[in-house]
Structure 1
Amino acid sequence: MAGSGRVAGQSIQGLEQLDTMSNVQEGFVIKVHIGKATARFGRAKLIFILVDENDCTSDEIAVNPKPFDCSEVVVPMTQKKKKNMGSGTRIVSVKFCAGRTTKCFVKRIEVISKNISTNYSVLRLVAHRNWEYVPDPDTSLPQYNIPELKQKRQEELTDTRKHYKFKKTDGLPAQQVLTMPKEERFSIKYAMDIFGLFGKAQKRKTKKLKKLPDVKSLEDLKSLYGQVGDVEVVFDQPEGLTRWNLSNKQEMDLVFANQRINGLNPSIIQLCTDPEYIRKIAVSAETLKQFIGGMTIEQAIAEKCLYVCDLEILEDAKHKESCKLTCCCRCVPTPTVCAPIGLFFVDKKEGKDGILKPVAIQLFQDRAADNPVFLPTDGWSWTLAKMWFNNADAAYHQAITHLGFTHLLMEGVVVTTHRQLSRHHPIFKMLAPHFLFLIAINNLARVILVNSGGIIDSIMNAGVKGSFAIIRKRLTQWRMDVDGTLPVELVKRGVEDTTALPNYHFRDDALRVYDVIKTYATDYVKLYYKTSVDLQGDWEIQAWAKELTAKRDIENGGCGLQGVPGNGKLDSVDDLITILTSVIYTCSAGHAAANFGQYDEYGFQPNYPGLLKGKPPKTKTGHSENDLVQALPPVATILQTMAVTKVLSTKDTKSLGDFEEVPTITDASALPIVQSFRDNLAQVSKDIQTANYSRKYPYSHVDPYVVPNAISI
């Protein structure tokens, strides 16, 4: 993928040996790293003043940086004031501003004098004659700053809060006001890439739509992929298509079961521990026996072989209304959103470790004559029931697993971090790479994806209205110390036992990534907080923790998160580590697991349908392939789903641990910790790729090489 950097073997930003060291024998070298360069007229211009340890200053030094690149300028001694600023002098701060006709987004500055290289993290838009000041070291806890710097930090935070504000969310996660801070905008390059991808996908969809009739059979769907005449490859074949094989019903059942543990929504399945729970499903124990290896229900539960996926939260969820226009023959009646229960069994007589198989599906919660339990022996009715189950699973996935509890939930954390932590705070510097473009992508989504009548309304049964209703319901239950802490969440669902539930690659791989992130957070936090006194005396981090838990929708803002360790007051370093691990994991691997497999799943409509027409089956007989075809939406909707999920599945930013895009961590004492983080991620990546060679269904969505740092798409 464009922009993705291999984790293994890369050096830390700022530690590389510079070829320019020979240029500083009689002066200095300034290296400027530009992010979002925005020159009003022509090329951007920056003006620098260097300050040394004796408080001597240089003359103004002009630099014309290249957009999206690193530029350097050699500053010979002839440009210095004739004070004691020699080439061996240590530079302790930098003042800089933009030229008269330009604005420039500066990522990082390096000042090199002989054998001394000093890094300054900036990450802000610099305007004309608005002098910015960056000290060295520029990473510190507020209580240990000199009085002038304490005041400067407070002034910066006061100004930042004018731009980062919470808006009323009506029961949704806390969000930034619609006015987006300039620092949060896409870079020019990334914006061009994103809109280019959307434009290209739309163009491909239009080409296909002109050449294809309505789908008459499932076989017809295959013509949506590959070439049309001499036209370029429009949509490649997703995994969902390659695994969909109607001639092998048993294999299709295994694919369906695998979606529960390694699909887009792998955190619903839970161990069944109570025989009484099975009473929710209208099927006798005798009927189930043939599907659970001849065991009784009690035996299957005792041996930890029985698992359930219960989407009760979708019951009575409001969903989108039918189209009221009379001019469109393709209008779909008011869609149905099921609230199904699926029963699954680990057959330990098959496979090396055992194989998960689907046993029964009930499409609605209440037992009723018109709500039968579908079984693997029910032919086409069983296949149709699996499609409707996946349609409900897709509603949950998009509303909760993806949009609600990565994109929206983390937006509030981004806003809180900017409002309460100075740019010089070590925790701000740690979190900043994991917030890249999050607010920008959420704003874009509000315009084209989750707006009324937008894409989600077009391709999902629940639509925007239903999705937001589901998010509101789930938000009242979500807790960071449970749902946001992966090892605890796995135990809560009873799926932590690798022997009882084998081949759960999401669990196994994600846990390794989580542990690496926790080790990184532990080492980094303990570098700055030697004792609990350091933590308790840090008023910025205490304000941050307080706002994370403060009630939403109040005038002074609040993130409204439940279950945050410390509950708004940080006395324990371990609590801070847990919070940071949760946030970084969610913004990286958590989002990647929910996002980057979208085209492979949604890209073949019968495999994981976002939108189905008509009503779910009410009987177990009389169905045929035609019923599956009739449930599919029009070709235009299918192609729209393919186009959108293809774009959303594209990675275009750096891999987890590669902080080149947001190089905030420049403290020399922290750089070895970052390198260790990257080395550990590289090993996990290598192990996952090796394991995938022998997996029946390879899983790579939490491979650190694939996982970006942030929710940027």
Structure 2
Amino acid sequence: MKGKINLPTKIIKFKLKFEVEKQFGTPGAFVIENGDKHEFFLKSATLQYIVPERKHESFHFKCNSWVYPLDKTGVKRIFFLNQLYLPSETPRGLVELRKKELEKLRGKRLKDEIKQWDRVYDYDYYNDLGDPDNGREYARPVLGGHQFPYPRRLKTGRPACQHAESRAGGCFQVYVPPDERLSHEKQEEVINNLADALIRFFTPKSDDTQQSFHEYPDLLKKIVHFFVPKAALLSPAEMSKFQSILDFITGKPRSGSHGDTSKFDSPEEIFDFFSDKEVKELEGWVMQKLQKLVPTDILNQVVATTETSRSLVNSQLPSIIAEDKYAWLYDGEFGRQMLAGTNPVRIRLLKDYSEIERMNWPNVETHRNKIQEAIKENKAFILDHSYLLPYLDMVNGKGVCTYATRTVLVRSQWDTSIQPVAIELGLPDSNGNMVVDQSPADQLLWILAKTHVAANDAAHHQLVSHWLHTHAVIEPFIIATRRQLSVMHPIHRLLDPHFKDTLHINALARAIFLNAGGILERTLFTGEFSMRLSSHFYKEWRFDHQALPTELQKRDMAVKAEEITEKPAEKETEKKKKEAEDQAERDEGEAGIDENAVELDDNIPATTTDNSTDKQEKYPGGVKLILEDYPYAKDGIEIWDAIETWVTAYCKIFYESDESVKNDGEIQAWWSEIRNNGHPDQKEGWYELTNRESLVRALTTLIWITSGLHAAVNFGQYAYAGWPPNRPMLLRKFIPKRGSPEFHELENDPDKFLIQMWPDKFQMAFVIAVMDLLSRHTSDEVYLGQKSPENNWEENKDVDKEFENFSEKLKEIEKNIMERNKKYNLMNRWGYAKIPYKLLYPDTSKTKAPASKEKDGPEKVDITGRGIPNSISI
């Protein structure tokens, strides 16, 4: 055998010659062993006959896997040709190799701690969050099982310590199978992104120049316009209350805090987080606090940067304050964020007035007719966080003050926005309950009540909508896919792009964010009970309810298309009424909205009228939305429909009948293992994979969770929670009762009260930095509808054609979204903050960010960059 080495930049190409029997035929796999002492990454291999009569034949193997030394692994590596086979169709010579490869990945014979070179996948409980050896305060219950049901996570095999798994040497040393790890470049990029964010938001200001945020004309009139009914006449005393709100917002000068740099002197200081600064060494008290939260290698990067750089840094303003610094205070903006913000999956239709009657609402009679009429017309909604009530005795204390809130919202009679009309603030002692509404006498309390609702919603978003319903529930599916579906299986190939980096990201989350004393426990009001609350919601979780059409129906935000019984006359009347309202809004809104606030494509054609009678075409996903101006649902259901169409076409290529699904041994073992080993605590909500339809539904749900759902709940975090007053993670004061001494203190000095209620300076800065990190797209991301180098379907023309159709469909959806974002009368797509809804903009044309010409890593992209990544990779 002869060898030749070529050395391009970072890739080594080996050219090898070897002899085979004349009638060898088509190679379906090859076996390789690494006799060196170092591992290497094998990108691909191509075998080609060199004899003249067969020189045109070549066989390509896409490997993309680490090959470790044989003396460590004890097994040789097998790589299969890029051909897809159902188990029953596997060429005879590959049947045993296919089985043996899956057996190796299950790693049943391993008893000791799993080493970094092991390629094994197995399940374990969440017994790695606590650290009881470090003290009783770090003990946490094991998640998974009867008491605290939970999805299973990837097993690492580390030894136990006091009913918990022992700590790894560092967060980046937790076992993850080699092929699931972040690339070195991506890991460095994530570290640098967090280090950069910490420097930006913790570096002290280098000059005394304060940017003025309080010189805005007619602000008081603006506040009055949004908080008070138009016909109300305000007394001088009432105007004084509004003036106190204005003083708070504009940063009325206050006495200093005697040198305590952990506290605010005035609310205006919050804006200093986003000011231009010269990089400086972080103050000692900051470094001491960061050492408890941030991995050492990231802090080392911070120290190295501050020692060697004195460059000027600035921060992009969070979108919620970028256009209008006060938009977050408006009721309409508050309601819009429940439909288009970071947590658009909690609000539901209010169908029964008895839910209002259970509230201790003194002014309920004033609003009864309005709400009853809104319920009748499907225009009343509720945001319910009353599930917190049993946890409040455990949560409240240690400087945290939390209510279990319920918020009633009604669609505006003027536009498509929804407005909160009443907020119930619940405590374990029902005598402490109170209901606040928009009455002029309660405007200060109304602002505080909305802030407490936002804090409730922020915790639900982080623990349930984001972590549990995307990261956690998907992990068992990835493990089962690696254990039960061969790389030659068509479904393995379909799902593989949607599982990229997730196992490693989840391992980092358990080591840094979710662990005892970690980031979420120290920033969320739920503290050490955070994961228990997450477990509570897993009890209610069902896989079939994560299908978007079903999820919307569960919240009564949509109905099945076949259930629509609208009469033609009523439909025409409603259409004319809507057209008149839209035109009135357009006439009123054109003068006040800057059309250049967002980049628009003038070449996008106008939306055409759909005269089809096919309900599936009229109603993507087979459902009709109750509220058409619901950006998350409107864009999401179109994306869901595109995914479902692509998956249906894909499955038809490989499964010729329902019987072929039922007889697929690997797919049945895969599904059984997910239910019995990956999600054994949840017995309800599973499809029976006995036909193509159920398989398509399951696969579409998986792809939706990893792409569209995760994008919607993740990448808007800096835009909204990057301004902590809008989405506070915790609050430190209860709302004073009317007429109490504390209430008079609030009236006399609202800015002092709010400073004391909000998180402290360190907590705010740290949350902003974390939101910055989580909202950034990494430079190696592959987006929905794009072909990755590892998954371009070149070996199957039928699949390639259907994937092109999928990409084209996503491009049509992009046009639809941009068209909707041009319609300023759709208030929930822009709102008072003028944030166009782009979290579900596919952006199929997005390409990999070019490498920077500097030596400081990949070129930074706008933190609000659009696009739906294929996988949960951040």
Deviations 1:357-415 (A, max 9, x none): 11111122779453221112321211111111110101111110011111111111111
Q: 1:439 to 1:661 in 2, by over 3 A?
A: farther
Deviations 1:91-115 (A, max 9, x none): 6555545563542233444567876
Is the counterpart of residue 647 in structure 1 residue 647 in structure 2? no
CA distance in 1, matches of 2:121, 2:682: 16
Question: What amino acid maps onto 1:140 in structure 2?
Answer: Y
TM-score in terms of structure 2 length: 0.66
Question: What amino acid maps onto 1:233 in structure 2?
Answer: V
* Residue 298 of structure 1: how far off its partner (Å): 2.5
Q: Which residue of 1 aligns with 2:711?
A: 592
Q: SS of the counterpart of 2:313?
A: coil
Is the counterpart of residue 156 in structure 1 residue 221 in structure 2? no
Q: 1:255-654, aligned counterparts within 5 Å?
A: 255-283=333-361, 287-289=365-367, 295-317=369-391, 333-347=398-412, 349-351=413-415, 354-364=416-426, 368-377=430-439, 378-463=442-527, 465-482=528-545, 484-496=546-558, 500-550=626-676, 558=680, 560=682, 562-566=684-688, 570-619=689-738, 622=744, 623=746, 624-652=750-778, 653-654=781-782
Tell me, yes or no, if the aligned pair for 1:413 and 1:559 is still in contact at 8 Å: no
Tell me, yes or no, if the aligned pair for 1:314 and 1:396 is still in contact at 8 Å: no
Q: 1:453 to 1:67 in 2, by over 3 A?
A: farther
CA distance in 1, matches of 2:810, 2:5: 37
Is the counterpart of residue 124 in structure 1 residue 69 in structure 2? no
Is the counterpart of residue 660 in structure 1 residue 788 in structure 2? yes
Q: 1:108 to 1:677 in 2, by over 3 A?
A: farther
Is the counterpart of residue 139 in structure 1 residue 268 in structure 2? no
Q: 1:26-175, aligned counterparts within 5 Å?
A: 59=1, 79=17, 81=19, 93-98=29-34, 100-110=36-46, 118-128=59-69, 132-136=77-81, 138-162=83-107, 163-169=120-126, 170=143, 171-175=149-153
CA distance in 1, matches of 2:64, 2:457: 40
Q: 1:547 to 1:374 in 2, by over 3 A?
A: same
CA distance in 2, matches of 1:365, 1:117: 71
Q: 1:243 to 1:370 in 2, by over 3 A?
A: farther
Question: What amino acid maps onto 1:358 in structure 2?
Answer: P
Question: What amino acid maps onto 2:707 in structure 1?
Answer: S
Question: What amino acid maps onto 2:320 in structure 1?
Answer: G
Question: What amino acid maps onto 2:39 in structure 1?
Answer: K
Question: What amino acid maps onto 2:655 in structure 1?
Answer: Y
CA distance in 1, matches of 2:699, 2:692: 11
Q: 1:268 to 1:257 in 2, by over 3 A?
A: same
CA distance in 1, matches of 2:105, 2:649: 29
Identity %: 26
Q: 1:614 to 1:582 in 2, by over 3 A?
A: same
Q: Which residue of 1 aligns with 2:178?
A: 182
* Residue 82 of structure 1: how far off its partner (Å): 9.4
Q: SS of the counterpart of 2:445?
A: helix
CA distance in 2, matches of 1:119, 1:677: 25
CA distance in 1, matches of 2:641, 2:6: 43
CA distance in 2, matches of 1:66, 1:97: 23
Q: 1:390 to 1:527 in 2, by over 3 A?
A: same
CA distance in 1, matches of 2:27, 2:625: 58
Tell me, yes or no, if the aligned pair for 1:421 and 1:541 is still in contact at 8 Å: yes
Q: Which residue of 2 aligns with 1:203?
A: 199
* Residue 338 of structure 1: how far off its partner (Å): 2.4
CA distance in 2, matches of 1:137, 1:495: 44
Tell me, yes or no, if the aligned pair for 1:430 and 1:664 is still in contact at 8 Å: no
For structure 1, which segment, 453-462 or 658-667, has the greater mean C-alpha deviation from structure 2 after superposition? Answer: 658-667
* Residue 513 of structure 1: how far off its partner (Å): 1.0
Q: 1:470 to 1:315 in 2, by over 3 A?
A: same
Q: 1:266 to 1:117 in 2, by over 3 A?
A: farther
CA distance in 1, matches of 2:427, 2:628: 28
CA distance in 2, matches of 1:657, 1:108: 23
* Residue 199 of structure 1: how far off its partner (Å): 1.7
* Residue 252 of structure 1: how far off its partner (Å): 1.2
Tell me, yes or no, if the aligned pair for 2:78 and 2:101 is still in contact at 8 Å: no
Aligned residue pair count: 622
Tell me, yes or no, if the aligned pair for 1:517 and 1:584 is still in contact at 8 Å: yes
Question: What amino acid maps onto 1:361 in structure 2?
Answer: I
Q: 1:110 to 1:316 in 2, by over 3 A?
A: farther
Tell me, yes or no, if the aligned pair for 1:260 and 1:266 is still in contact at 8 Å: yes
CA distance in 2, matches of 1:451, 1:707: 28
Q: 1:234 to 1:429 in 2, by over 3 A?
A: same
* Residue 510 of structure 1: how far off its partner (Å): 0.7
TM-score in terms of structure 1 length: 0.80
CA distance in 1, matches of 2:708, 2:757: 34
* Residue 138 of structure 1: how far off its partner (Å): 2.9
Is the counterpart of residue 708 in structure 1 residue 860 in structure 2? no
Q: 1:370 to 1:338 in 2, by over 3 A?
A: closer
Tell me, yes or no, if the aligned pair for 1:122 and 1:664 is still in contact at 8 Å: no
For structure 1, which segment, 644-653 or 619-628, has the greater mean C-alpha deviation from structure 2 after superposition? Answer: 619-628
Deviations 1:206-244 (A, max 9, x none): 313898773233322112113026853332210232366
Bigger RCO (CA 8 Å, 6+ sep): 1
Deviations 1:625-680 (A, max 9, x none): 33222111221111100111100101111211324264375541422222222222
CA distance in 2, matches of 1:401, 1:67: 43
Q: 1:137 to 1:243 in 2, by over 3 A?
A: closer
Question: What amino acid maps onto 1:412 in structure 2?
Answer: P
Deviations 1:415-463 (A, max 9, x none): 1111111111111111111111111011111121111111112211112
Q: SS of the counterpart of 1:317?
A: helix
Q: 1:679-694, aligned counterparts within 5 Å?
A: 679-694=808-823
Q: Which residue of 1 aligns with 2:603?
A: none
Deviations 1:73-132 (A, max 9, x none): 778xxx56597699xx97655554556354223344456787666442323222357654
* Residue 339 of structure 1: how far off its partner (Å): 1.7
CA distance in 1, matches of 2:180, 2:205: 36
Q: SS of the counterpart of 1:220?
A: helix
Q: SS of the counterpart of 1:344?
A: strand
Question: What amino acid maps onto 2:671 in structure 1?
Answer: A
Could you tell me which runs of 5 or more consecutive residues in structure 1 were left unpaired when the two chains were aligned: 1-58, 323-331
CA distance in 1, matches of 2:707, 2:868: 6
CA distance in 1, matches of 2:28, 2:674: 34
Q: 1:547 to 1:81 in 2, by over 3 A?
A: closer
Tell me, yes or no, if the aligned pair for 2:46 and 2:59 is still in contact at 8 Å: yes
Q: 1:671 to 1:571 in 2, by over 3 A?
A: same
* Residue 538 of structure 1: how far off its partner (Å): 1.1
Could you tell me which runs of 5 or more consecutive residues in structure 2 were left unpaired when the two chains were aligned: 50-54, 108-119, 127-142, 144-148, 157-174, 208-260, 280-310, 560-623, 824-828, 844-866
